Amino acid sequence: MWSRWMIAMFLVLGLAGPSPGESPTESPLVELRDVSVERQDRGFTVRLRTTGPVKSRHELIDTPYRVVIDLEGAAYAWQKTPLSVGADPLRQVRGSQYKKGVTRVVLELSRKAAYRVEEGPEGLTVTLEPALAAKARPANVTIATTHITRSTTV
């Protein structure tokens, strides 16, 4: 009798732990809070500010040219309307909750451009620069310059 009562109390109070296949704690999603665009001498720096580190996948797509960035394990908490830039090569930045746990940010371009993505503790930094591919680059930076590229940061 005593053991049945103890088991019932553990279950009621949630002290028995997770059931098989269930994670012990659900980690909260990182949020995309802000996007800012800074004009540089020969391009742009786009900062995606998050509430913590985030993993990303990105690719350059043509027709029309755009860089699509998926933030894995992230919730969308930025503005709902696109951010118009209107300066070559960056036309617009927009974002949305692509699917549960994945936030998508799209950099719409006026033409093909090299880009690099750097992951940091407070989000991502995307650099758009026409001559970026010719410069020396650190090993942890991804460069995409082909038509359609799927790449991840090393």
- pLDDT 10s digits, 41-57: 878 999 999 999 999 99
Predicted local confidence at residue 122, as pLDDT: 93
- pLDDT 10s digits, 77-132: 999 999 999 999 999 999 999 999 999 999 999 999 999 999 999 999 999 986 54
33-37 long-range contacts (CB < 8 A, ≥24 apart) are 33/77, 33/78, 34/78, 35/78, 35/79, 35/83, 35/93, 35/95, 35/105, 37/83, 37/85, 37/90, 37/93
Q: pTM for the full model?
A: 0.69
20 pLDDT higher than 70: no
**What percent of the chain stands above pLDDT 70?**
66
153 pLDDT higher than 80: no
Domains of the chain from N-terminus onward: 28-151 (2.60.40.3500)
